[in-house]
Structure 1
Amino acid sequence: MPADTGAPVLLWFRRDLRLSDNPALTAAVSTGRPVVPVFIRDDEDAGDRAPGGASRWWLHGSLKALAEDLSGRGSRLILRSGNAADAIDDLLKETGAEVVFWNRRYEPWATRRDEAIKTSLKERGIEAKSFNAALLCEPWEIETKDGGPYKVFTPFWKALRGLGDPERPEAAPDGIPAPDAFPKTENLDDWKLLPEKPDWAGGLREAWTPGEKGARERLATFVDEAVMAYADKRNLPAKAGTSRLSPHLHFGEVGPRQIWHAAIAAGMSATGQPTPKGVETFLSEIAWREFSWHLLFHFPTLPEEPLRPEFSDFEWKDDDGGLKAWQQGMTGYPIVDAGMRELWATGWMHNRVRMIVASFLVKDLLVHWREGEVWFWDTLVDADLANNTASWQWVAGSGADAAPYFRVFNPVLQGEKFDPDGEYVRRWVPELKDLPANAVHAPWTAKPMELKEAGIELGRDYPHPIVDHATARKRALERYRRMKDGND
């Protein structure tokens, strides 16, 4: 698209790597000025929250896809790395831009950084404006009757639902005005976001297609084939019952408004009603994501400290061997090991299984929830700070709306209930594939002949359980009781 007159608009892409339903992009194009899209890799500001290995792999693919989409509309994606404030200053000098637009992020370090950048720009007469592309509503827009943040999901969900449907998403612009000359850009390959030796990303490449097009296709498949049965199938890891949209949401390749309206449209098409059971249940899961960001915004120490202060005194256990067995999917509990191996192979894990493996780590092994959270941060392609932290604290019992600490998932019973035929376990723990269904979730209960026919020697082909669950449960409850007694 030919450039119009006027100083350019600097469009700062972040976790909004899409052209549709992108308020900052829409605002930039609506000015009629040339637009300079830029992505700044600023890992330094994130500190120990810089993206993990799986997230870096996804980011490479997402940026590559975004660059292609921008090129198709007459524009270019400019890449810079380093301190974001310095990179923006350089670009303002190089382009003569007088306006900077971006979509908001809500991590504690990001809100501090963004506010400082916005203040600095405005003091120099540069227009700086941010927008909401990531959430259905801002974290400060929903309050309790007392004017504070919510700490329990159900009333939060009722309040969110009471706001009605979010605004309808806007389509991508047909074209994006370009400047007479674009500033220089760094080379994406030089960022070395992809693994080299060893190349552990084969399973990720097989499982995922980063980018807005991949997100759009996955959303369409889900609402066409699975959303109506979501309430019944979402807890079955062997079935295609969940959306698998979480990494696309994390990188902003699709927005919650788009997902919300697509689900409602599917419900209307199928039943004439906007929110039949499957759709309503799915929308409530989108709301859990909102709730997690609500918590992180109002309680910025959530990634490091328990939301419930009494858990500061909990007696966690240093168990390097147990942690390593858990990470490698070698605990001797098949449903746990299947989940951990799925995570390593694909960068993703079914939500029900996430709860099971998390409960096993923090309650059966008594390993601090932060050890699990950090491992997920490095290995998940959807490693979202709010979701990841809030979910681990929920399982540990130290967070908002938390599962009671005395609720300790039994990995055998969970496997039998949600993977009754052992299909999920057989896929990810193939050494157990020939065991009968009545033993696949507890191989140590199999008869000697069944083990022999399956070609399994416990301790050689598959480990014995690293802890006895019944004993571990009693130990966890005793430590919970001591923590409570110490805080009474």
Structure 2
Amino acid sequence: MSQLVWFRRDLRLHDHAALYHALAHPGPVHTVFVFDTGLLQGLPVDDARVSFIWHSLQQLDTALRQQGGALLCCTGDPVQEIPRLATQLGVSSVHAAEDYEPAARQRDEAVARALQADGRSLHLHKDQVVFAGREVLTQAGRPYTVFTPYYRAWRARLHAEPVSPWPTLPLTGRLLPHPAPTLPSLAKLGFVPPPAERQLPAGEAAAQAVWQRFQPQLPPYQQQRDFPALEGVSRLSVHLRFGTVSIRQLVHVAAHQDDEGAACWLKELAWREFYQQLLYHFPRVVGEAFKPEYRTLAFPGSAEHFAAWCEGRTGYPLVDAAMRQLNQTGYMHNRLRMLVASFLVKDLLIDWREGEQYFAKQLLDFDLAANNGGWQWAASTGCDAQPWFRIFNPVTQSERFDPQGHFIRRYLPELTGLDAASIHAPWQASPLLLQAAGVRLGQDYPLPIVDHARQREAALALFGREPG
């Protein structure tokens, strides 16, 4: 009997776990993608993630047709569509990549039950991580809740079991063709193309181009990664999110490159897996603080301050530039994600879940595990081994990581006239300097909506710590 490969967060052909295992069975292979109407509901009509997926699927279908196959596309509830399609095509098994999000696990359990009731089976294969949640545990068999010991164990396992891409099996003669394309138009799905500044090259070819461009930057990665004005990071996060690139391919290269930059980047990839295994073992972190003592913490911040944060008008230039980058492009540099999260929770005293949800709407690379883990880390409610509360100073962070103000000027053109010494804290500049720069605080650019020093003390008091 034939097999069915269900594409989800793995929109590529190279190093594809589910496709490899389906091809290992005798008989023909079908491929399908389901536009989940439950996930599409409520998204803005110009959501750039839908456009990214659509263009990636278009390229995937073209690549499959070049090798004698085609991609089937359905729209609806996968719990109904996959069993229906399996029956219609007469397949014995459905193959898909494991997904560790709570809702996805419930979906897959429901699909498996429906298939089993019809004499068919669902096979899930590890694909979006190098080591899944149960593969890296403490000696007591428990999940790690602190990154450093997790990374030591993760790295030791990687050394003992070097990762390599799945072999490429011949597709020609194994894939079943479908005469007419079934990929619906964006319009039929209820969407329109996003603004140009939020569009990203999609598909496996684009991912490989980004990867090839980044590899020469691996050696200086550790020195450059924290400076948002530089092109020092990989920009592969959206491709990892939708699986247009394989995590095994990236880890294989980074683990075999002998320099501190590659080692540093490998650790960042491990952070991604740390948050994935946390979500797998502790699904309650979706909407709830990991640390029990902070689950009922009442945040006194105001709706007006939250709106100012969202719109990039807090009066702290690097915070505002970061938020404008997010709103305009759907991307934010990782150093800035930590800064703006700290500012929302520790300066504005606003619930971290508000920021987490805003990021979920805006980020093109939104990933539930990484987003939740990052926000809880910044808010001190998650897995953080530090015995005190980390509170970023938005001015010193600006002076350190955007010393000449290049990034700030890119997104806050109203501050272009300020010099490198005054652009980080315009309210401290002299009236003559502001006048010469053409900046009228409170009109062209806002005054700070809070005083950082006072808010730091308030945050420490809120979390039960004494100022100092």
Q: Same fold (TM over 0.5)?
A: yes
**C-alpha contact 1:94 1:183 (8 A) present in aligned 2:** no
Larger deviation, residues 470-479 vs 29-38: 29-38
User: Residue 438 of structure 1: CA displacement?
Assistant: 0.4
Q: 1:366 to 1:195 in 2, by over 3 A?
A: farther
Deviations 1:361-418 (A, max 9, x none): 0110011001000010010011000000011000000001265563211100000011
User: Residue 346 of structure 1: CA displacement?
Assistant: 1.4
One-letter amino acid of the structure 1 residue matched with residue 380 of structure 2:
G
Answer yes or no: is 1:466 the counterpart of 2:449.
Answer: yes
**C-alpha contact 1:40 1:81 (8 A) present in aligned 2:** yes
Deviations 1:41-81 (A, max 9, x none): 22427999999934323222322222222222222111112
- Could you tell me which of 419, 432, 445 is aligned with 2:428? 445
Answer yes or no: is 1:161 the counterpart of 2:155.
Answer: yes
- Could you tell me which of 8, 11, 16 is aligned with 1:14? 8
One-letter amino acid of the structure 1 residue matched with residue 175 of structure 2:
A
Answer yes or no: is 1:121 the counterpart of 2:118.
Answer: no
Q: 1:451 to 1:483 in 2, by over 3 A?
A: closer
Corresponding residue of 2:144: 150
User: Residue 482 of structure 1: CA displacement?
Assistant: 7.0
The 5 A counterparts of 1:192-231 are 192=189, 194-195=191-192, 199=194, 201-205=195-199, 208-224=200-216, 226-231=217-222
Deviations 1:445-467 (A, max 9, x none): 12222212221111111111111
- Could you tell me which of 30, 34, 37 is aligned with 2:28? 34
User: Residue 95 of structure 1: CA displacement?
Assistant: 1.5
**C-alpha contact 1:393 1:402 (8 A) present in aligned 2:** no
Corresponding residue of 1:326: 309
Distance 2:403 2:75 in 1: 49
Distance 1:446 1:186 in 2: 57
Q: 1:391 to 1:108 in 2, by over 3 A?
A: same
Deviations 1:330-388 (A, max 9, x none): 11101101111111121111110100000000110011001000010010011000000
Corresponding residue of 2:336: 353
Distance 1:281 1:154 in 2: 13
Distance 1:56 1:360 in 2: 30
Aligned length: 464
Q: 1:33 to 1:49 in 2, by over 3 A?
A: farther
- Could you tell me which of 90, 93, 96 is aligned with 1:99? 93
- Could you tell me which of 295, 300, 306 is aligned with 1:312? 295
The 5 A counterparts of 1:317-396 are 317-396=300-379
Distance 2:57 2:416 in 1: 39
Answer yes or no: is 1:65 the counterpart of 2:62.
Answer: no
For the residue of structure 2 that corresponds to 1:301, the secondary structure is helix
Corresponding residue of 2:185: 188
Structure 1 spans left out of the alignment, 5+ residues:
1-6, 268-274
Distance 2:251 2:63 in 1: 24
Distance 1:235 1:380 in 2: 19
Distance 2:248 2:177 in 1: 34
- Could you tell me which of 444, 447, 463 is aligned with 1:480? 463
Corresponding residue of 1:246: 237
Answer yes or no: is 1:296 the counterpart of 2:287.
Answer: no
Identity %: 40
Larger deviation, residues 42-51 vs 113-122: 42-51
TM-score (norm 1): 0.90
Deviations 1:13-65 (A, max 9, x none): 00011111101111222334222111112242799999993432322232222
